[in-house]
Amino acid sequence: MEQAPAATAPTEPTSRFVTINGLNLHYLDWGGDASRHTIVLAHGGTAHVHWWDEVAPRLIEYGRVIAFDFRGHGRSEWPHPAHYGPAAHIADLREFIARHLQTPVVLIGHSMGGELSLRLVARHPELIEGFVSIDAPAGGPPLLTRLKWRWKRRRQGGARPDFASAEDLVRRFRLSPPGHNLTGEQLATLALKSAERLPNGRWAFRFDPEARAWPHRRREWGRVSLRKITPPTLIIRGRHSALMTARTARLMHRRIPDARFVEIPDAHHHVPLDNPRATAAAIGEFIAALKPGAGAR
């Protein structure tokens, strides 16, 4: 297992790698007392562990905090040939929790990470002490959004683009879907944390373009009954989110047996980036209320 320091203010996590399902997958370990809780943060599509940089340090008081990079994202290895999809991602996350961490966790997923986590929670509640879904509509985003993504997919995939300079890369960086509260400086910082300098001196994003294809094949998701989500659950929505409607959030809240619902003010879809303080506070309140063995049903 490779280890290297990864400096991130205000707390410095440790960058680690673990081999899962034949791939070298990356995670950030922020430390904390694992005897209290183990908290796993799962990012959204095309994102990475640094989506949680402002949330993770605020959760350390509740236990050990870990942010996980899905295959093809961040510093995690790309499968060759390309192999992505719900089954592969869920299998990686399950193995990471069951075989590597070897303890029930508080699983927190944003967007794609939330929808993947939802299915893991439904299938393996014994691995879950508590579940937090952040702006992750069950069953996927609205139809119009899916159609837009399908159209964009025609121009995506293939070879990874590169850029002559870091400045060019930063100018190209966009959050998807659009809408956020970040300053230009914050966006530039996030862009550089999403990138690497290549041996030829050019710059590229740490993301496999082939990983974009699978979210549009909705039949691969399969159906999941929200009533099968038995661990304590917190549903979080960004108040200005264009991806998750208030109606969908309330529906999830009603159908999941042991669920709470919180709407984060001053936040669009990228809730952990837009309002990390309120996001961490809502998660912290939820974790503090968990009873020992709450996930064992």
Sorted by where each starts, the structural domains of the chain and their CATH numbers stand as 3-160+207-288 (3.40.50.1820)
Helices 86-95 & 112-123, crossing angle to 10 degrees? 70
What confidence category does residue 5 fall into, taking pLDDT thresholds of 50, 70 and 90?
very low
* 3 state SS of 103: coil
So what's the pLDDT on residue 129? 98
Predicted structure pTM score = 0.91
Q: How far apart are CA 90 and CA 26, in angstroms?
A: 15
So what's the pLDDT on residue 291? 79
So what's the pLDDT on residue 56? 98
Q: How far apart are CA 17 and CA 19, in angstroms?
A: 7
Record the tokens describing residue 266, joined without a space.
């001053």
Running DSSP on this structure, what letter comes out for residue 99? I
So what's the pLDDT on residue 176? 87
pLDDT tens per residue, range 185-242: 999 999 999 999 999 999 999 999 998 865 545 555 567 899 989 999 999 999 999 9
So what's the pLDDT on residue 159? 83
What confidence category does residue 250 fall into, taking pLDDT thresholds of 50, 70 and 90?
very high
What is the share, in percent, of the chain residues with pLDDT greater than 90? 79
More confident residue, 264 or 210: 264
The alpha-carbon radius of gyration of the chain (Å, integer) is: 18
User: Above 90 in pLDDT, residue 286?
Assistant: yes
> Beta strands of the chain (E only): which ranges?
3-5, 14-20, 23-31, 38-42, 64-68, 105-110, 128-134, 195-197, 203-205, 233-238, 259-264
- 70, 113 Cβ separation under 8 angstroms: yes
More confident residue, 67 or 296: 67
Of the listed ranges 61-65, 104-108, 219-223, 286-290, the one predicted with least confidence: 219-223
- pLDDT, the chain, mean: 89
C-alpha 58, offset from chain centre: 17
User: Above 50 in pLDDT, residue 33?
Assistant: yes
Q: How far apart are CA 6 and CA 33, in angstroms?
A: 20
pLDDT tens per residue, range 35-76: 999 999 999 999 999 999 999 999 999 999 999 999 999 999
